[in-house]
Amino acid sequence: MKYGFLPQSIPAYSSFEVVNALRAKHPDYTYKPAMLNPTNPRDRAQDWEEDVISQFAKNTTLTEYVGQRGTASGQAMFIARPIRLPNPACLQCHSTVDAAPPTMIEKYGPANGFGWKMNDTLGAQIVSVPMAVPLKRADDAFGVVMGSLTGVFVLIGVVLNLMLWKLVIQPVTKLSALADRVSLGERDAPRVPPAPKDEIGTLSESFARMRKSLVHAMLL
């Protein structure tokens, strides 16, 4: 620091650079310490960021502000937290040009980043993420859930119909065809096949018994 200022030692610089490296892959995600009076001009707040900072300046108890805004690549969501000086040690570099290390003035100039005061709202850390990614994920998940629900319902419908046909409709149709033939006086109509012990089975047993009594009565 004596011979040349090392910006890597400044947390605000390092965090910006780390996120910058990530942005090579995900350019829609941004992080910025947006300041009204920045040391590094790239941290100067833009119009909408100034509005966010003024929210924090108006309401000093506000610790987080979440919002949405339109960007060139679609809707983005941002989360902002206020920047205030928490520690008098920060004033060494951010209060007056005279107090700051000469190597810092050499690098950043004496024009901005000074005159910050304790507990003033100086800016806001703003993280911005694109909405398109989570919205697309939510859409995809919705499609998968609805698709599998529809599939399950169709499967249940098909299985229920098959069972209804096999267990109820088919035996009852057979029974009613037989009843038709018996009612028309056909005595040699085939016997009712033995049925399982359920309601349909009981019905066909009763039918067989009724048929026997009928034949008996006719013979008398």
- Binding residue (CB under 6 A) for ligand HEC from 36, 76, 80, 83: 83
User: Segment 1-20, which members bind ligand HEC (CB under 6 A)?
Assistant: 7, 10, 12-13, 16
- The yes or no reply on residue 93 touching ligand HEC (CB under 6 A) is yes
Cβ atoms 18, 29 nearer than 8 A: no
- The yes or no reply on residue 35 touching ligand HEC (CB under 6 A) is yes
Q: How far apart are CA 91 and CA 95, in angstroms?
A: 5
Q: Between β-strands 65-71 and 30-35, what pairing exists: parallel, antiparallel or unpaired?
A: unpaired
Q: How far apart are CA 136 and CA 176, in angstroms?
A: 57
Q: Select from 75, 121, 113, 68 the least CA-distant residue to 95.
A: 113
The residue with tokens 């809707």 is 75
Letter string b/e over residues 180-190, b meaning 16 or more CB atoms within 10 A of that residue's CB: eebeeeeeebe
Q: Select from 185, 186, 205 the least CA-distant residue to 195.
A: 205
How many residues bind ligand HEC, per CB under 6 A? Answer: 23
- Binding residue (CB under 6 A) for ligand HEC from 87, 184, 213, 216: 87
Report the residue closest to ligand HEC, judged by CB. Answer: 90
- Binding residue (CB under 6 A) for ligand HEC from 46, 73, 92, 206: 92
Minimum CB–partner distance for residue 6 and ligand HEC (Å): 9
- The yes or no reply on residue 33 touching ligand HEC (CB under 6 A) is yes
The residue with tokens 């169709």 is 154
User: Segment 161-190, which members bind ligand HEC (CB under 6 A)?
Assistant: none
Query: For binding to ligand HEC (CB under 6 A), which residues are involved?
Result: 7, 10, 12-13, 16, 33, 35, 38-40, 43, 83, 85, 87, 89-90, 92-94, 101, 104, 108, 113
